[in-house]
Amino acid sequence: MTPPPEVVLQTSHLGKTYDQSIHAVKDLSITVKRGEVFGFLGPNGAGKSTSIAMMIGLIRSSSGSVTIDGKESNQQKGIIGYIPQKLIFYEHLTVQENLELFAEMLEISQQAPRITEVMQLLQLEEIRDRRAGKLSGGQARRLNVALALLHTPRILFADEPSAGMDPQSRNILWQSIRTIADQGVTIILTTHLMETAAALSDRIAIMDHGQIVALGTVDELIQSVGLQKSIAIELATTSAEELTPLLEGYQYTCHDNILEIQFKEELRIGELIQQLEQQAQITRLEFREPTLEDVFIHITGSQLREA
C-alpha cells in the first residue's frame, strides 16, 4: 500500500539478524512525515546505526520493508542525504575545493550559488580556503554536513552528527538542522546524547537491544511513564526524617538534611512547604522537571552509555 503524501519514510517490521541468532534490529515499524525531525535515541549498540543503514540501503535487511515517498529506498537515491559518523571529505583539499568537487560529482546545476548557500548555513565562509585536514573537530563535522546537503535532499539521515563537536559548532548544527526541517526536509537523526535528542527532535524513538521501547514527543514520553515534578528541600539543622509524618501521600526520599519530594499539584506542594517551614528552617528549595534521561532510566534501568 502506498503511504499518504505527507508520509515520507515508512518502515514495516524491519529487522536485521546476524548469524541466525544475533538480532541487531527487531520489528522496526515507524512512519515519519515531511519536515519532521525524528530522533533515534539509545546507548551504543542499541541498533540505531544499523537501522539507518538498512533505510538507506547500505546493508540488506533480514526482514521487513522500507519505503521513501512511497517507493523502495533503493529507487530514491537522488532524494536521500546521508551524514555518516565517519568524515568523508578529502583532507588535502580546502573546504571550498571539497564542496566544488562533490557538487561536480553530484552533477548539481547552479553549483556556485548552492555552495555559497550551504557554506552560509553551516558558517563555513571564513574557513573556505583552509585545508580540510587542518580543520578542528567541530569544523570538520560541519563540512561533513554541508557535503550531505549539497544536492538538496528531501530526506536527510544523520548518524551521530554532533559527535566530537565543540559547543559552538554543535549549536550551529542544531540551528542548521531546524532550518532545513522548516524548509520541508525530513530528518532522521541518531544519537546517544540526551541534549541533542531533546533540542532537535519533534519525536523520539528510544531504542534498546535492537528494538523501540518508547516513542513520542518529549512530553509524551514523560507522561507515558508517569514521571512527576520534584522538589529538593535542604534543612538547616533538622533531620529530614523528623518531618516525614507530614509527607503522607507523597513519594519522597530523605538523606540527612535533604528531602526530595515528587508532586503533581503545585498548589498542594506550596501548602506542604508552609507546613515544613513551621517545623524547620529551610535553607534551599530546588524545583526539578522530569527529563528525557529520567524517562530512559525509568524504562531501561540504566544510564545512557557515552561513546
DSSP per-residue letters across 106-149: TT-SSHHHHHHHHHHHTT-GGGTTSBGGG--HHHHHHHHHHHHH
Architecture of the domain spanning 228-289: 2-Layer Sandwich (3.30)
Burial (CB < 10 A; 0-12, 13-18, 19+), residue 14, is buried
Amino acid, res. 190: T
Q: What is the pLDDT of residues 48-77, one digit of tens each?
A: 999 999 999 999 999 999 999 988 877 788
Note the pTM of the prediction, 2 decimals: 0.83
Are the beta carbons of 187 and 81 closer than 8 angstroms? no
CA distances (Å), 134 to each of 84, 140, 148, 158, 252, in order? 20, 9, 20, 23, 53
CB atoms near residue 142 (< 10 Å): 27
Amino acid, res. 176: S
What pLDDT does 2 receive?
54
CB atoms near residue 51 (< 10 Å): 29
Closest CA to 81 of 6, 138, 174, 148: 148
Are the beta carbons of 155 and 118 closer than 8 angstroms? no
Across residues 18-29, what is the average pLDDT?
Answer: 91
What pLDDT does 28 receive?
96
3-state secondary structure of 294: helix
Percent of the chain with pLDDT over 70: 95
CA distances (Å), 224 to each of 40, 216, 218, 220, 221, in order? 18, 9, 10, 6, 5
Across residues 266-270, what is the average pLDDT?
Answer: 75
More confident residue, 290 or 145: 145
What pLDDT does 307 receive?
44
Q: The C-alpha cell of 219 is what?
A: 512530553
Q: What is the pLDDT of residues 222-252, one digit of tens each?
A: 888 877 788 888 888 777 778 878 888 888 8
Cα–Cα dist 140/119, whole Å: 13
Cite the residue boundaries of each domain of the chain with CATH code 3.40.50.300.
Answer: 7-217
Closest CA to 33 of 220, 202, 239: 202
Across residues 22-41, what is the average pLDDT?
Answer: 94
Question: 144 pairs with which residues across the strands?
Answer: none
Looking at the predicted structure, is the pLDDT value of residue 301 above 70? no
Across residues 134-146, what is the average pLDDT?
Answer: 93
Looking at the predicted structure, is the pLDDT value of residue 305 above 60? no
Q: Which strands form 63-68's sheet, in the order they lie side by side?
A: 22-33, 7-18, 63-68, 71-72
Closest CA to 188 of 34, 57, 42: 34
In the CATH hierarchy, which top-level class contains the domain 7-217? alpha beta
Are the beta carbons of 34 and 184 closer than 8 angstroms? yes
Q: What is the pLDDT of residues 77-122, one digit of tens each?
A: 889 999 998 999 999 999 999 999 999 999 998 999 999 999 999 9
More confident residue, 145 or 4: 145
Looking at the predicted structure, is the pLDDT value of residue 3 above 60? no
With cut-offs at 50, 70 and 90, classify the pLDDT of residue 303: low
Cα–Cα dist 60/78, whole Å: 19
